[in-house]
A = this chain, B = another copy of it.
Amino acid sequence: MSGLNTQVAGIAELSAIDGGIGAPAGFRSAGVHCGIKKAADALDLTVIAADRTAAAAGIFTTNLAVAAPVIVSRRHLAETGGRARAVVVNSGCANACTGDGGLSNAEGMAEETARALGCPRHEVLVASTGVIGVALPMDRVVTGIQFAARTLARGKGSETARAIMTTDPFPKEHAVSVQTSRGAFVVGGTAKGSGMIEPNMATMLGFLTTDAKVSAARLHQALVTSARDTFNAITVDGECSTNDCLIALASGASGVEIDDDTLPLLTAGMLEVSRTLALGIVRGGEGATKVIEVTVRGASDDADARRVARTIANSPLVKTAVHGADPNWGRIVAAAGRSGVAFDVTRADVRVGGVLLFENGMPHDEAAPDAGKHLQGTDVRIEMSLGTGGSGSATIWTCDLSAEYVRINGEYRT
């Protein structure tokens, strides 16, 4: 697996470090069990707090059935012009399709967090994930927020990573230190999947922290750029949730100032962290046994290439074939053919694991056993050239479709 796009990363000196969301200076966090999830040892609420008001940016779901916490977070970011003191997140209940009561509850989460931290209500952002259409148990949530606020500490990033999980098989966190001529800054992050992952815009819950000193506008720019080829280039099942959001906070505590010259360094750090988290979401996709990297070339532009790559990545027939280690290039060609993008089947080619299986309208079935061997691994590469002579290209990451996906989603609420 070559991994997500790291072109920008080439210009900065990055080193992976421990600590996830808690690694950058100027943040404390805590994860608690307040009783939204049934299991007594399951963390289900977290607060990520900056020591002082931080620059903040967010990217949110494009789903029109938008959840209450997304409405509240968008509103608060608009009111402050990109400042926040904290993010409060619960898992186990999405607070979506919960009407006016749900909106009050999301505002209530912000209010309670603000009271505990001593900041204005609109400096708190809110996120929720879990079952749709169930009211939050606000008494438990309030107790949880109070408890989390009292136990905020540095070095507890992994509690946040666990507290935001739903059906995720493992927590996802990462952090990097970025060396610049003006000193080092740190970017940390955590994210949760793991179905309903289709990045029409945002894709899941993701949180990034940094101690770089940056304006809200530049932070937003870096967030959008780094998300494009990471969180926005993955799909598990083509679904786009009501609650998806990606939020970044910058404390400035490193003292390293981000101007137009150093913005690529911040972007590189955020890209690197996002890359690891996004691949973690795919690898931890519901029922996933393999990560599939779909690269499409030869499209008229990158957007067309992305559309074809996404159609292939979301094709149930391609995903089940990969699951069964069947080098069924015909399903790849068929998916490309229905994507709505021009392609020339007589000049197209398809490679699986680098093995050429289809070229100039004809199969190379003698190579199928080699491709089949590649498909038995856990990291699968599919490459397709559309044969139209264009220079557009794109890569999308997805996972295979297994019977376990059906089991998880057929039994989720029961």
Q: Interface of A with B (CB < 8 Å)?
A: 62-66, 94, 96-101, 131-134, 195-196, 198, 200, 237-242, 315-317, 320-321, 323-324, 326, 328-331, 333-338, 342-343, 345-346, 358, 360-363, 365, 401-403, 405-407, 409-414
Contact = CB atoms under 8 A, between A and B. Distances in A.
A4 to B, nearest CB: 24
Contact of A324 (B238, B331, B360, B411): B411
Contacts of A326: 410-414
A337 B402 contact: no
A139 to B, nearest CB: 19
Give this chain's copy count.
Answer: 2
A341 to B, nearest CB: 8
A65 B311 CA distance: 14
A413 B414 CA distance: 35
A361 B99 contact: yes
16 contacts: A64-B342, A65-B333, A65-B343, A96-B334, A97-B361, A99-B346, A101-B362, A133-B363, A239-B316, A239-B338, A317-B409, A321-B412, A323-B410, A324-B414, A326-B410, A326-B411
B329 A133 contact: yes
Contacts of A358: 97, 133
A403 B407 contact: yes
Given A316-B409, A403-B403, A65 B336 contact: yes
A143 B80 CA distance: 78
Contacts of A134: 363, 365
B410 A337 contact: no
Nearest to A68: B361
A199 B333 CA distance: 18
A345 B362 CA distance: 49
Contacts of A338: 62-65, 198, 200, 239-240
A183 to B, nearest CB: 43
A320 B409 contact: yes
